[in-house]
Structure 1
Amino acid sequence: MAAYLQIVQQVQEALRLGILTEGDQLPTAARVARDTRLNPNTTLKAYRELEHLGLVEPRPGVGTFVSSSAGRPNPLVESPLRGELSEWMRRARAAGLDWADVSALITVARAEHYPAG
């Protein structure tokens, strides 16, 4: 996966999990480039894609912020399914499964229930 898409995916995940919320400021593209050792154009491309998706709003001279539409509370954060999954993960660990085992089970279940993805 292209590096800029990895940045986009990480921001989307942070939004899904409630780590980023409306009004949060993202680090500057230059800082992300420096911290990740990516080309600054790569981080700028990621930020433009996030803007295109309506997830962030650039404010010239101030920074890039999570947009109001993207920062709404996510029902997944407090979902009963999240609690059930957390409990399943706890039981898997107690049964001696390592991350590779758990990942394999998730991959199989995903293929069964989401065959196109």
Structure 2
Amino acid sequence: MAVIEFRVDRALGLPAYLQLVRQVREALRLGWLRPGDRLPTVRDVVASSGVNANTVLKAYRELEHAGLVEARQGSGTFVRASLGSVDAAVMAGLRDRLTEWVTAARAAGLEDEDVDALMRAVLAGETDNRVEGA
């Protein structure tokens, strides 16, 4: 049974419940959560992240509405579906390579915002926008 520890960054500018939803979706994509795994209780999430119980309930309801989890009366909230479609070994290898790249980027002086901007540009398929001959 996998365990997820939620982190809420108040400076992120994203509502706390959406941060929780995003973290569950990412854990599902990465294979860290699988169908049948139990999510932490609302009480545990409140204690570890400092968010309001209604915030956690809102996140869990959104995940349930998306068909990713199901609430079982008296038992908790359980993962129903997976989002990952890539073999776990392939994902682990890619994660290792990305970790090496991020380490090199930080050694080169890039900050998290720089890495994020570069990653978003690559994901969007943007090419090098430098002016030729400049």
TM-score range for the pair, normalised by the shorter chain length: 0.7 to 0.9
Alpha-carbon spacing, 1:103–1:22, altered in 2? closer, same or farther (3 Å): same
Unaligned runs of 5+ in 2: 1-13, 127-134
> Matches of residues 1-117 of structure 1 in structure 2 within 5 Å?
1-67=14-80, 70-71=81-82, 74-75=85-86, 77-79=88-90, 83=93, 86-87=96-97, 90=100, 93-94=103-104, 96-98=107-109, 100=111, 101-112=114-125
How far off is 1:10 after superposition? 0.1
TM value normalised by structure 2: 0.67
Alpha-carbon spacing, 1:28–1:91, altered in 2? closer, same or farther (3 Å): closer
User: What do you get for the CA RMSD once the two structures are aligned?
Assistant: 2.7
CA distance in 1, matches of 2:110, 2:120: 12
Equivalent residues of 2:30, 2:84 under 8 A apart:
no
Find runs of 4+ consecutive structure 1 residues off by over 6 angstroms.
Answer: none
How far off is 1:110 after superposition? 2.6
TM value normalised by structure 1: 0.75
Unaligned runs of 5+ in 1: none
Amino acid at match of 2:72: R
Q: Secondary structure at the match of 1:112?
A: coil
Q: Secondary structure at the match of 1:64?
A: strand
Which structure is higher in RCO with an 8 Å CA cutoff and minimum separation 6? 1
CA distance in 1, matches of 2:48, 2:24: 16
Aligned sequence identity (%): 46
Alpha-carbon spacing, 1:77–1:99, altered in 2? closer, same or farther (3 Å): farther
